[in-house]
Amino acid sequence: MITLQDVKKIAIIGGGSMGHGCAMVFAAAGYPVGLYSRRAETLQKAVEGMRSDLTFLAERGIGKLEDVETTMARITTTQDMAEATADADFVLECVAEDMALKQDTFQKLDQMCKPDAILATNTSVMSPTEIASTSAKRDRILGTHWWNPPFLIPLVEVVQTEETPQWVIDVTMELHKAIGKHPIHCKKDVPGFVANRLQHALWREALSIVERGIADPATVDESLKYGPGLRLPVLAPLENADMVGLDLTLSIHSYVLKYLEDSHEPSPLLREKVEKNELGFKTGGVGYQTWTPEEQKALRTRLLDYLTKAVREMKEAEGK
C-alpha cells in the first residue's frame, strides 16, 4: 500500500494523442515522467506536440513560457517499456483501444512494475475489470478516463473495479487533484462510466429529434448552445432539480419521459450517413451539416479559445 507522498515518478505507456497529452500534464505539475512508445517517430511527434501545446497554453495565460523547457526536461522518452516503468509509482496505459493489446500490456506491466505501483487504463469505453482480468495483481488496476484534449479538460473519471481496494482509489483521486485535474469517483465499472452515459443519452435524443423531423441539425445544436447548455457549467441536472423542486421534476417526467427516445440501437439515419460515407469533417465536411474547410477550422479554433478561457478562469477562481 502506498500514499500520495510515495508517488514520485509516473510512467505513461503509449505516446499517441492521449499518452503525450497526459504525460505533459503530470510533468507540468512537477512529476518526472517516463513516456514509452514502440516507435521513434511517435516519440518524436509526442515531444514536438508537448512543446507546442505547452507554448500554446502559456501564450494564453495557462502556465509560463519560461517553464516550458523545465517541464519538457522532466519527460524521458523511451522505446523500452521496462525503462519507462522502472521506479514508477503510478503507470497510465494509453495504447490503442483494443482489448487484447491492453490485456497484453497489463501482463507485461505485472512483470515490470514495483509491487505497489498503481496501474491505470485510459480506456474510453472498455471494462477496466476485463482489461485487468488476465493480470496477476488485479487489485492495483483501475480506470482513469481522461477527456480530450487532456491538457484542457479537467475531468478524469476514476473507475473502480470489483477488486480495487479503497487505498488505490484514494491515492488516484488525490494524485489527479494534485496535478490540477478534477477527478470523479465512478463506483461501478459500467459501460460509458458516468460522463459518456450522460453525453450519449443527450446525443441519442438529439439524433432522434432530427430523424423525426422535429428540428434540423443546426437548430438542435442551437437549442442547447443558446439554452440549457449555457447554464450547465454552473447548474447541472441534479442541482437544477433541487433548485426548481423535485415535485416539479416528477411532474415533468411523469408527462414527458414516455415521448423521449429509448432505442437500444444506433439511429437509422446515423447508419445511413455512415453507409454513404458522409462522416463529417473527415470526408470533405458532409455530415449532419455541410462544412467548408474554413468553417471546420473556425469551429476548432472557437472550441480551443473557449476551453482555454474557461480553464484559465477556473484556475484563477481556485487561486492557481
Ligand X SMILES: NC(=O)c1ccc[n+]([C@@H]2O[C@H](COP(=O)([O-])OP(=O)(O)OC[C@H]3O[C@@H](n4cnc5c(N)ncnc54)[C@H](O)[C@@H]3O)[C@@H](O)[C@H]2O)c1
Q: Which cell numbers hold the place of 109?
A: 506491466
Of 2-21, which residues contact ligand X (CB under 6 A)? 14-19
Q: Write each residue from 38 to 77 as x if it is in contact with ligand X (CB under 6 A), else as -, in one continuous string.
A: xx--x-----------------------------------
Among 44, 107, 148, 263, binds ligand X (CB under 6 A): 148
* Rounded-to-integer distance, Cα 135 and Cα 274, Å: 37
Tell whether residue 128 is a contact of ligand X (CB under 6 A).
Answer: no
Q: How many CB atoms lie within 10 A of CB 231?
A: 11
Tell whether residue 122 is a contact of ligand X (CB under 6 A).
Answer: yes
Task: Report yes or no: 160 and 189 within 8 Å, Cβ to Cβ.
Answer: yes
Q: Which cell numbers hold the place of 290?
A: 455541410
Nearer to ligand X, 150 or 209 (CB): 150
Nearer to ligand X, 196 or 240 (CB): 196
Report the candidate in 123, 67, 56, 12 with the shortest Cα–Cα distance to residue 311: 56
Report the candidate in 41, 53, 200, 181 with the shortest Cα–Cα distance to residue 122: 181
Tell whether residue 101 is a contact of ligand X (CB under 6 A).
Answer: yes
Q: Does residue 132 come out as left (phi exceeding 0), alpha (psi in the -120 to 50 range) or beta? A: alpha
Among 26, 37, 63, 168, binds ligand X (CB under 6 A): 37
Q: Which cell numbers hold the place of 227?
A: 439554452
Q: Which stretch binds ligand X (CB under 6 A): 88-96, 130-138, 174-182, 226-234?
A: 88-96
Tell whether residue 172 is a contact of ligand X (CB under 6 A).
Answer: no
Question: Which residues of this chain interact with ligand X, rule CB under 6 A?
Answer: 14-19, 37-39, 42, 94-97, 101, 122-124, 146, 148
